[in-house]
Amino acid sequence: MNARDYSGYPDCRPEYIQSFQIMANLATKTGVENDSPFQVHTPLIDLGKEEIIRRGLELGVDYGLTTTCYDPSPSGHACGTCDACLLRLQGFAANGLVDPATYVT
């Protein structure tokens, strides 16, 4: 989840995460009865796609096993045209790399 390249999805904003965390702690037995309330961690929220890809590469992520697509084909291949695919492709290009994911187009 990130707020910089979020394609207009309001649940990727820090305000939503803060509100969700409050709700989880008010509306669940664990949140109400536990001394350790729920805490939602969003380490990538302030990074752009280029930075997220770079961080993943530093951590050894095999991006060939991942997809970011909102409309994958029945076989699981990324569409290559949705906002998520376009941002991902731009992120790889900004790092001088070709995205190893399988795309329909």
- Spans of all domains in the chain: 1-46, 48-105
- Supply the mean pLDDT for the chain: 91
Q: In the 3-class helix/strand/coil scheme, how is 44-79 assigned residue by residue?
A: CCCCCHHHHHHHHHHCCCCHHHCCCCCCCCCCCCEC
Residue 62: pLDDT band (50, 70, 90) is very high
Which percentage of the chain shows pLDDT scores above 90? 71
If 0-12 CB within 10 Å is exposed, 13-18 middle and 19+ buried, where does residue 85 land? buried
Q: What is the mean pLDDT of residues 50-55?
A: 96
